Chains A and B, each alone.
Chain A
Amino acid sequence: MTWEAVIGIETHVELRTHSKMFCGCPVGFGGEPNTRVCPTCLGLPGALPVPNEKAIEWTMRLGLALDCEIAEHSLFHRKNYFYADMPKNYQISQFDLPLCADGHLDVTTETGERRVGITRVHLEEDTGKSTHLGEGGRIGSSGGALIDFNRAGIPLMEAVTEPDIRTPEEARVYAQELRAIVLALGVSDARLEEGSMRFDANVSLRPAGVVELGVKVEVKNMNSMRSLQRALAHEIERQTEILDGGGAIAQETRHWDEEAGRTEAGRSKEESSDYRYFSEPDLVPLSVGDEEVGKLRAGLPELPAQTRARFEAAGVDATGARVLVTSGLGTLFDEAVAAGAAATEAAKWLTGEVTAYLNREDTDPAGLQIDGTALAELVSMVEAGDLSSTAAKHVLEGVLAGEGEPRRVAEARDLIQIRDEGALSEAVAAVVAAHPDEMARIAGGDGKLIGFLVGKVMQATGGKADPRRVSELIREAAAS
């Protein structure tokens, strides 16, 4: 039978506000354990939450960027369950009246465009972090866990899609697009590896053409875009095998094991969850007027889809525009163009060498040692014939390594092309004189040997000669 996959994605995004969701503790990643805590985020008796207005505003910004309706009235609820790294043993979250609802995000893949419905975007608080000690862990042999509450109470935005996604690729593109939007809004650093952006997916299969949904499995622990796609592909395959074999899918939570390349069933709870949601009595309702929504909407930055369209209009091809936006290099691109670089050239460098560098070094654009002016300088040096394309790559390498501006790097590494005609003619003359047989054959029409002699000249000049010009000079010498 042909099965159709039905996928929905829940995304958690930690907001990089200055302070936590319900208290004044600083927000940050890492740090000495239990140093960013106060009575409220530690759940001390008597402490009370007061919501961070910036976090509320930022959540509405994401909602607007996803074409959601902003609720005139919304509420915080308590979601009750016991977990040792959750200080109050309830999470302040939102339930039936979220801040934002009914939006959508369009994703484009090789198979076409799909509109993914956004059910809701709401705001909640993060939990603490527990480190599980295995048997024989560093603290005795009893196992156990260590808990750090620095993360507890960091504002957490949750965006939930409708079950509109059909393929693992669509899921990845959705996730990348959402991440690009979050970055464009500047509300989070959205680092998957640090957990400031996290994805959970619900996957079910149904016979193609059937409307009714199958039993869904929740897949967790996918901490890169690649593992999201891989995990879903694996899960669809696993479910297909079971169904094809006449089996039934168990409703459960499964964890993606990146190394093993498969999902594993989680240790199941005693019984299904009953979160006993009720409206948070320590907080009052949120109310947002049309005027405020209008202001927030007007204040939205250019969103990735708009940015891509603008890049394409400037001559960048569709793939290039997408890479620039998803890798976060759009700003650098704009700066380079503003500094005089041709759009196509700037895009070529950024989507090529610079992106390769980011991947190789596993870093993000914020850590790059190059700015728009430097990139424009590099482009213009190539155009002016000061650098061969090979030399330009070396120069970029040096710039990225922090060696300075392109011209300085090129000079320091002695990579500027010989543009002195006299010096060039001398070098060519020397090679010509040393290879009379080859010259005769070239004169006789064997054009393939030109490349060989160009190589000799390049060797002799340490790669600094302009190969096109050298080639011309050799042809002239053979013809004379």
Chain B
Amino acid sequence: MPIDIDIAKVARLARLGLSDDELAAYGSQLEDILEHAARVQALPTEGVEPTAHPLPMVNAHRSDEVEPTLDREEVLAQAPDHVDGFFRVPAFLEDE
């Protein structure tokens, strides 16, 4: 089955700032891979439940107890930019 991808839209959703050339190259590679991957559609799966997880487990919870937090200086030492205990980033463009 031929696959047609709006690769620029996919890249925006994935927050990847790719150039037009890169987009074109990835777009055609993805089409090839997806043509192969689309073989999954050949297998009849009517009435088959999807499997999200190999473990047949439920209810893995924790009790509501407070545990130690990280040292802020150790955390911020890894940040590309921080000030006054906050992480600092450029201005937001979009609303949530």
Residues of chain A touching chain B, judged by Cβ–Cβ distance below 8 Å, are 17-19, 23-26, 32-39, 42, 50-56, 73, 75, 80, 82-84, 89, 127, 130-133, 139, 142-149, 253, 255, 266-267, 269-271, 274, 276, 278-279, 281, 283-287
Contacts and interface: CB of A to CB of B under 8 A. Distances in A.
Given A144-B88, A146-B83, A267-B94, A37 B61 contact: no
B59 A284 contact: yes
Nearest to A73: B58
**By CB atoms of chain B within 10 A, which of A24, A127, A287 has the most?**
A24
Contacts of A144: 88-91
B87 A284 contact: no
Nearest to B92: A145
B77 to A, nearest CB: 12
30 contacts: A19-B64, A19-B65, A26-B66, A26-B69, A33-B84, A33-B86, A34-B75, A34-B85, A36-B69, A37-B75, A39-B70, A50-B60, A53-B61, A55-B64, A56-B61, A84-B92, A139-B88, A143-B91, A144-B89, A146-B88, A148-B85, A149-B87, A255-B95, A269-B94, A270-B94, A271-B9, A271-B12, A283-B60, A286-B58, A287-B58
Interface in B1-59: 9, 12-13, 15, 52-53, 55, 57-59
Nearest to B61: A53
A34 B86 CA distance: 7
Given A52-B62, A281-B53, A23 B88 contact: no
Majority-rule SS of B interface residues: loop
Given A34-B86, A270-B12, A283-B60, A25 B72 contact: no
B66 A24 contact: yes
Contact of B64 (A53, A80, A132, A267): A53
Interface residues of B, number: 38
A117 B84 CA distance: 46
Given A19-B64, A84-B92, 10 more contacts: A25-B67, A33-B84, A34-B75, A34-B76, A51-B62, A89-B15, A131-B86, A267-B95, A271-B9, A284-B55
Contact of A132 (B66, B75, B84, B92): B92
B57 A34 contact: no
B86 A147 contact: yes
Nearest to B93: A267
Given A33-B86, A148-B86, A281-B52, A23 B60 contact: no
A14 to B, nearest CB: 14
A217 B89 CA distance: 30
B83 to A, nearest CB: 6
Contacts of A24: 62, 65-68
Given A52-B64, A53-B61, A284-B59, A35 B72 contact: yes
A17 B64 contact: yes
Contacts of B88: 139, 144-147
Contacts of B89: 84, 130, 144-145, 147
B17 to A, nearest CB: 12
A285 B87 CA distance: 34
Nearest to B73: A34
A35 B57 contact: no
Nearest to B52: A279
Contacts of B93: 267
Contact of B61 (A50, A73, A143): A50
Contacts of B83: 139, 146
B51 to A, nearest CB: 10
Contacts of A127: 96
A274 B14 CA distance: 11
Nearest to B60: A284
Nearest to A50: B62
Contact of A19 (B13, B57, B67, B95): B67
Contacts of B85: 32-35, 148
